[in-house]
Amino acid sequence: MRTYGCQMNEHDSERIAGLLETDGLEEAESFDDADVIVLNTCCIRENADNKLYGQLGNLKKLKEERPDLQIAVGGCLAQKDRDVIQERAPHVDVVFGTHNVGRATDLLDQARVSGPVTEIIEESASFPSALPVKRDANHAAWVTIQIGCDNSCAFCIVPSVRGKEISRPYSELVSEVEQLALTGVTEITLLGQNVNSYGRDLTLKLRGTELTAEACQLVGENWVRGPHTARPLFSDLLCSVAAVSGIRRVRYTSPHPKDFRPETIAAMARVPEVCEHLHLPLQSGSDKILSAMHRGYTADRYIQKVVAARDEIPDLALSTDIIVGFPGETDLDFERTLEVAAEVRFDNAYTFVYSPRPGTEAAESLEQAVPAKTSADRMERLRKVIERTSLKGNESRVGREEEVIVEGHSKRDNGMLSGRTRHNRLVHFPADRVIRPGSYAQVRVTEARTFNLIGELVEVTAKAKHRTRIPVVSS
């Protein structure tokens, strides 16, 4: 399995891997050892396209040497480029989209008999969470609470490849978290393209109707007991999943600033299991660019929401997404982005140079394109601002004890363990004893770096729960 893109793609890959294992396959160490290679793709930026087609080019020789090798391409780029993939890489056996992840093994079987196959479904109300799963970490899990997106951001192709917004039934989500907790999962991340709006579509359908016994299953008891208005259920959901026995940490991604509501802030402030970390995409600090992007908020409104969140959650960590070089962005527009970034003091930021995506509104405005060198210069200036505030935030943690969930040995130093704080900060500390991934520990921070912390172990507070999982094999 090779995955490109966001957490939603990672989540889909876990389900595809689960299906393949259920079908009797085992994970291979490398392409050379594999009988089946699945590339789960992203199409948010042009670089993702280039990575995929470069990888497919490299696999062509392997396919020629081993004709029985099967290559499958799934995900967002497959949804978008369905026919282009087969044209550019005819050695691909299966192309499938975002809405038929559950068909991956069936399509591979079909291709063995009849040759290359492309199957793209335009829309589906099925959720990958209902499929078998293979996770890299036993202690943490993603839970998809909705699929699709109803926003119309000028730069984004997600609505085209993921479809309209559809929320999962409330009780189904709580039940999934309960089952995860029984297997030893202690940290969950709620996933959606716009998690803030979770449940709005469900309550809209029920508003003004006679409620049946199934209503509680669909939207939860809190909505049924309260005013039957069409509103999001996200804050209710945060409280319900956090109350599941065994769950110690709840995270979520990604919210949209225009839908980030006071009740969500209140839930984060009062529910101990919800982590003090908020990822709130800014995209730009210029009102003119935000309007052109169709983001639905101004820079001042964004700052007001950040202030409101920090008033309720004083120790809040904040990360964001920012696009540099959006069509029409002037020096003054970019200066405003720098000003907002400095004022807000982001702990981390995912920054991108604008990449035109065919089929989006912004791609039709290339006459306003920002020169590549200008975008690169702006990106470097923004990087310095983000790194400065990130380091300052990390320095504020020196001397404190932080609860971390141990993820395993550091990728760069086998003598160090790595873990994540509740704020999603990465901490490295000496591995002077065996501590299983998924264990919780208190670590005293001794040194701050730009993107991580160094610490020393104080004590292990909770050992990882390891449950034996028996793979389900189809008959």
Torsion over CA: 143, 147, 152, 154 (sign): positive
Position 425 pLDDT exceeds 70: yes
Position 323 pLDDT exceeds 70: yes
Q: Tell me the average pLDDT across 234-252.
A: 98
CA distance 44 to 155: 9
Q: Would strands 249-253 and 187-191 be described as parallel, antiparallel, or unpaired? A: parallel
The per-residue pLDDT for range 426-451, each reduced to its tens digit, is 999 998 889 999 999 999 999 999 99
Return all residues near 13 (Cβ < 8 A) that are at least 6 apart.
1, 3, 38, 40
Return all residues near 6 (Cβ < 8 A) that are at least 6 apart.
42, 44
Return all residues near 215 (Cβ < 8 A) that are at least 6 apart.
206, 224
Tell me which DSSP letter residue 45 carries: S
Peptide bond into 254 cis (omega under 30): yes
CB 271 within 8 A of CB 238: yes
Domain boundaries, the chain: 2-119, 128-395, 401-462
The per-residue pLDDT for range 192-226, each reduced to its tens digit, is 989 999 999 999 999 989 898 899 999 999 999 99
- The answer as to CATH 3.40.50.12160 being correct for domain 2-119 is yes
**Domain 128-395 class, CATH top level:** alpha beta
Note the pLDDT of residue 232. 96
CB 405 within 8 A of CB 412: no
Note the pLDDT of residue 359. 82
Note the pLDDT of residue 474. 39
CB 382 within 8 A of CB 322: yes
Question: How much of the chain exceeds pLDDT 90, in percent?
Answer: 76
Note the pLDDT of residue 469. 45
| Residue 290, Cβ density class (10 Å: 0-12 exposed, 13-18 middle, ≥19 buried) | buried
Token digits of residue 399 = 């001397």
Note the pLDDT of residue 37. 96
Q: Distances in Å between the alpha carbon of 138 and those of 409, 436, 439?
A: 15, 11, 11
The per-residue pLDDT for range 78-131, each reduced to its tens digit, is 888 888 898 999 999 999 988 888 899 999 999 999 999 998 876 665 566 656
Note the pLDDT of residue 431. 85
Q: Tell me the average pLDDT across 1-18.
A: 86
- At the second CATH level, the architecture of 401-462 is Beta Barrel (2.40)
Secondary structure of residue 56 in the 3-state scheme: helix
The whole model's pTM is what? 0.86
